[in-house]
Structure 1
Amino acid sequence: MLPLDSAPLRPALAPGSWPLVGHLFRFGRDPLRFLGSLPAHGDLVEIRLAVQNVHVLCHPDLARRALADGRTFDRTGPIYDRIRTDMGNGLATCAHTDHRRQRLLMQPAFRRDRLSRYAAVMQEEIAALADRWRPGQVVDVVDAMFALTTSIAVRTLFSSRVDESTAAGLRHCLDVFLRGSYTRVLLPFTTALPTPANRRFTRALAQWRAYVGGVVADGRQRQSGPPDLLSSLLEARDDEQSGMSERELADQIAVLVLAGAETTSAALAWSWHLLGAHPTAEEELLAEAGAVLGGAVATWQDLPRLVHTDRVVREALRLYPPAWALPRTVTRATELAGRTLPAGSTVLFSPYILHRRAGTYPEPDRFRPERWRPDPVSGRCPVPATDFFPFGAGATKCIGESFALTEASLALASLASRWRLRPVPGASVQPAARSVLCPRTLPMRVTGRH
């Protein structure tokens, strides 16, 4: 069946392959520019990264098909083996055979009634950050948002079990891990080298696992305490009424904190950067925050009125999706765009590419939060939900989507209710395409609202 918006899908081979290394140098030097150039050549574009051929999905129809069929397009193969070695076999990294059981065990922890309780923790951490800022202070927004979302992730998981010094240590471990994991996946032959970066990575990973193991053991022994994600995971049961093993718990916690902290902090950092460059959108956000909150911290009940805030977050996620490139392994011969891919082939799903298609998003490279405004007649959003992929799609769609959107809207509106962040003149803001797409650094000056 042909896609609704185009002629038959076209396979293609990316030009500019070098002997031996293929496109590896171009991909490694500037992956976003390289990936962004591929749709001009076709809808399913083959690239070569050294000895590995990768088929990049450049059309939303192909992406939806691959994400809907986890049995054929699975999270297996050498890349995911390396990811699981470091991150563990959690819901965001497990293969198709483990996914249904893990999803069933995790789902209760993300029910709407639980999310409203997590929002109370978010409020406290956001208020603490807003109180620490001072007029005229220059902050690195990347670091500030990462510290905020990591504290929220740790507290919603472990409740009062974590003191500030331990939380700071965990943030350090996560930062080291995230900086090193992309290189380890892209260049696996470097992981055995005794470099300072590899030694830091190994130490951080060991410290993280030791702490998580201790917290899980402590959680099993406690008979009472405030409800948190860990207590939900300890209570979870599958179809056979079996709970999680110690290893499963540790893996799920690692993936939850890693995914939850870095992805939401990246979305917030990009939101501040984009607002700083677009005064009209910024003024609308400030006006909404002032009218709805009046200098207070946003609550769960305020979310329905923070409509422009939500649009800003979604537009930032469209332009700079944190999970910018995700591989899948073909487990059985299949056809895509008229080309047969044998078992063992690698396909790459990139929301960064799909979110910048002119056929889907008018003026795709422009920051336009108003594109998410519902049509006044139909009441529907002009952007189809099926063409928005920051959290993936299908059965493996991120279980924390509502958690992340809630956290981002609460933080953005609450901070904007008290402060405005101005770009530092002359500062260069460049995307760092590591495990998560975020700015390398984002210095901004804090000024008062009045």
Structure 2
Amino acid sequence: MGIVRTIPRAPGALPLLGHALPLRRDPLAFLVSLPAHGDVVRIKVGPAAALVVCDPDLVQKVLLDDRTFDKGGPFFERLREGLGNGLGTCPHGDHRRQRRLTQQAFQARRMPSYAQVMSKEIAEAVGRWSDGDTIDVLTDMQTITARTTMATMFAGTADASLTGLLVDFDVFSHGVYKRMFMPPPLQKLPTPGNRRYQQARARLLQAIGSIIESHRARGDKGEDLLSTLLAASDDGQGLSDAEITDQVMSFLYAGMETTAAVLAWALHHLARHPDLEARLHAEVDAVVPDGAPATFDLLPRLEFTGRVITEILRLHSPGWMLTRIATTDTELAGHPVKKGATLVYSPYLIHHQATLYPDPERFDPDRWDGRTTRGRTNALIPFGGGARKCIADTFGTTEATLALATIAARWRLEPAPGTTVRPAPTTVLNPYGLTMRTTARTTSNPAASRTA
């Protein structure tokens, strides 16, 4: 193991509580403060200890060695309770088989078909806005991503229960985060919060089970995600209904929550930077046909739009803090790591290091105009890395780019009077309090409809 290094402790721990208060009050500031104390820093939440990995090279080591640093710890334990043992939450031993089977639903050849559905749903959703509306941006973005996720996953299924699904996923998401910091005995108490969480989860499972049963009964052979999962086979063995339910829960959760947060943050920052907003409008006016939604074939020409999405993924990574479990005694840069230790890594922490990203709090899409980040290829990790990298990364960035381009082509959004926006870290990093007014746009370049 070489030289054994002592792992420094983060300052400010309180008796019994440890660092629970700063993690609840301002977790982002607390995380960003930790690299000043070491490349691996010990924290405590109540009686439990965890090691926060602050160095990007060490984070990469954790991500690439998923056998030694398996998915686990408070974050994934709570997600596994709610989402089941799907691809995003399952342990190493289950992952390879699940990856082979679910990968069939995310092959590159399927993206144009998915994107066609996305474009239609996005256009219909933003077409319901009226000039001068005041909208809750996060809620509207969640509606858009929910509709696109459900339409790509459940072709032919009625969406009458969409509102209920949105409410239940919101309750579930907040419940997961709260339970990360809740001692296990308290999670079983019949408190109002625990009851809401359990009831929302039960309704979600019932709704998804009914949809799966309906698809099987119809013998669907379509191109939607669910039909692909139902047909997936590995040496003649497919996924059971319980396994498919777990996959659907994971994909719905990721598709509805994370992409919505990215879009909401993008609209917020563009409104605060009129020069960048003008560049986005100029690009979409030149590329997207007047009155039509952005489509898959236009993505290569939506370069600045794509850079905006990438910069938001850096600045406000939806998955801002995640955990792993050491499956054996090991070490990180000479720091001893005992079997069973909880490790924390934070894309937000890595993405806000000034040594990697000069002026890290600045919204700057031009960071991604072809330049590298000081030669560090491991400095951008919104989708994780290694064998456990998010299987739907291309799906998500495609949806976000199409949605942002379609919105920008038709609308200009500006903050509503009195709006104060702040980060709201739950399982996803959302913008809290983001209300905006819509102003209809006319295409500044009418030739776009002829040349695109």
* Global fold match (TM > 0.5): yes
Of 395, 407, 414, the residue aligned with 1:415 is 407
Alignment check: 8 A CA contact 1:12 1:43 kept = no
Q: Which 10-residue stretch deviates more, 56-65 or 223-232? A: 223-232
Q: Judging changes above 3 Å, is the alpha-carbon distance between structure 1 residues 168 and 52 closer, same or farther for their aligned structure 2 residues?
A: same
**Distance (Å, rounded) in 2 between the aligned partners of 1:308 and 1:118:** 22
Counterpart in the other structure of 2:448 = none
Q: Which 10-residue stretch deviates more, 12-21 or 266-275? A: 12-21
Q: What's the CA shift string for 1:97-133, capped at 9, x where partnerless? A: 0010110001110011111111111111111122111
The equivalences for 1:400-411 within 5 A come to 400-411=392-403
* Deviation, structure 1 residue 225: 5.7
Whether 2:170 is the aligned partner of 1:178: answer no
Q: Judging changes above 3 Å, is the alpha-carbon distance between structure 1 residues 9 and 388 closer, same or farther for their aligned structure 2 residues?
A: farther
* Deviation, structure 1 residue 12: 2.2
The equivalences for 1:296-335 within 5 A come to 296-335=292-331
Whether 2:115 is the aligned partner of 1:115: answer no
**Distance (Å, rounded) in 1 between the aligned partners of 2:391 and 2:144:** 20
Q: Which 10-residue stretch deviates more, 211-220 or 58-67? A: 211-220
Secondary structure at the aligned position of 1:391 is classed as: coil
Secondary structure at the aligned position of 2:280 is classed as: helix
Counterpart in the other structure of 1:273 = 268
Q: What's the CA shift string for 1:66-98, capped at 9, x where partnerless? A: 000011101135653332121100100000000
Counterpart in the other structure of 1:5 = none
Alignment check: 8 A CA contact 1:11 1:338 kept = no
Would you identify which runs of 4 or more consecutive aligned residues in structure 1 move more than 3 Å? 8-11, 76-82, 380-385
Alignment check: 8 A CA contact 2:357 2:373 kept = no
- Amino acid across the alignment from 2:409: S
Q: Which 10-residue stretch deviates more, 24-33 or 93-102? A: 24-33
* Deviation, structure 1 residue 426: 2.3
Q: Judging changes above 3 Å, is the alpha-carbon distance between structure 1 residues 415 and 79 closer, same or farther for their aligned structure 2 residues?
A: closer
Counterpart in the other structure of 2:256 = 261
- Amino acid across the alignment from 2:44: R
Counterpart in the other structure of 1:198 = 194
Q: What's the CA shift string for 1:128-157, capped at 9, x where partnerless? A: 122111111110110000111011111111
Q: Which 10-residue stretch deviates more, 11-20 or 248-257? A: 11-20
Whether 2:6 is the aligned partner of 1:14: answer no
The equivalences for 1:70-81 within 5 A come to 70-77=66-73, 80-81=76-77
Of 424, 434, 437, the residue aligned with 2:416 is 424
Q: Which 10-residue stretch deviates more, 189-198 or 13-22? A: 189-198
**Distance (Å, rounded) in 1 between the aligned partners of 2:73 and 2:145:** 31
The equivalences for 1:158-237 within 5 A come to 158-161=154-157, 163-187=158-182, 188-224=184-220, 226-237=222-233
Alignment check: 8 A CA contact 1:374 1:381 kept = no
Counterpart in the other structure of 1:23 = 19
Alignment check: 8 A CA contact 1:135 1:447 kept = yes
Q: What's the CA shift string for 1:208-255, capped at 9, x where partnerless? A: 1111111112212223464200110011112x3200011100000000
Q: Considering only aligned residues, what root-mean-square deviation do their CA atoms show, in Å?
A: 1.9
Secondary structure at the aligned position of 1:358 is classed as: coil
**Distance (Å, rounded) in 2 between the aligned partners of 1:81 and 1:15:** 27
**Distance (Å, rounded) in 2 between the aligned partners of 1:383 and 1:315:** 17
* Deviation, structure 1 residue 168: 2.1
- Amino acid across the alignment from 2:31: L
Counterpart in the other structure of 2:387 = 395
Secondary structure at the aligned position of 1:160 is classed as: coil
* Deviation, structure 1 residue 410: 0.1
**Distance (Å, rounded) in 2 between the aligned partners of 1:178 and 1:448:** 33
**Distance (Å, rounded) in 2 between the aligned partners of 1:95 and 1:89:** 8
Alignment check: 8 A CA contact 2:5 2:336 kept = no
Q: What's the CA shift string for 1:184-214, capped at 9, x where partnerless? A: 1221443223222222211111111111111
Counterpart in the other structure of 2:428 = 436
**Distance (Å, rounded) in 2 between the aligned partners of 1:417 and 1:385:** 33
What count of residue pairs does the alignment treat as equivalent? 439
Q: Judging changes above 3 Å, is the alpha-carbon distance between structure 1 residues 382 and 285 closer, same or farther for their aligned structure 2 residues?
A: farther
Whether 2:350 is the aligned partner of 1:358: answer no
Unaligned 5+ segments in structure 1 are 2-7
Alignment check: 8 A CA contact 1:295 1:418 kept = yes
**Distance (Å, rounded) in 1 between the aligned partners of 2:27 and 2:276:** 29
Q: Judging changes above 3 Å, is the alpha-carbon distance between structure 1 residues 132 and 382 closer, same or farther for their aligned structure 2 residues?
A: farther
Alignment check: 8 A CA contact 1:276 1:423 kept = yes
- Amino acid across the alignment from 1:410: L
The equivalences for 1:51-90 within 5 A come to 51-77=47-73, 80-90=76-86
Alignment check: 8 A CA contact 1:77 1:344 kept = no
Secondary structure at the aligned position of 1:413 is classed as: helix
* Deviation, structure 1 residue 45: 1.0
**Distance (Å, rounded) in 2 between the aligned partners of 1:216 and 1:156:** 14
* Deviation, structure 1 residue 47: 0.7
Alignment check: 8 A CA contact 1:373 1:382 kept = no
* Deviation, structure 1 residue 312: 0.4
User: What TM-score does the superposition give when structure 1 sets the normalisation length?
Assistant: 0.94
Alignment check: 8 A CA contact 2:351 2:357 kept = yes
**Distance (Å, rounded) in 1 between the aligned partners of 2:375 and 2:153:** 34
Alignment check: 8 A CA contact 2:419 2:433 kept = no
Counterpart in the other structure of 1:247 = 242
Alignment check: 8 A CA contact 1:73 1:331 kept = yes
Q: What's the CA shift string for 1:253-274, capped at 9, x where partnerless? A: 0000001110100110110111
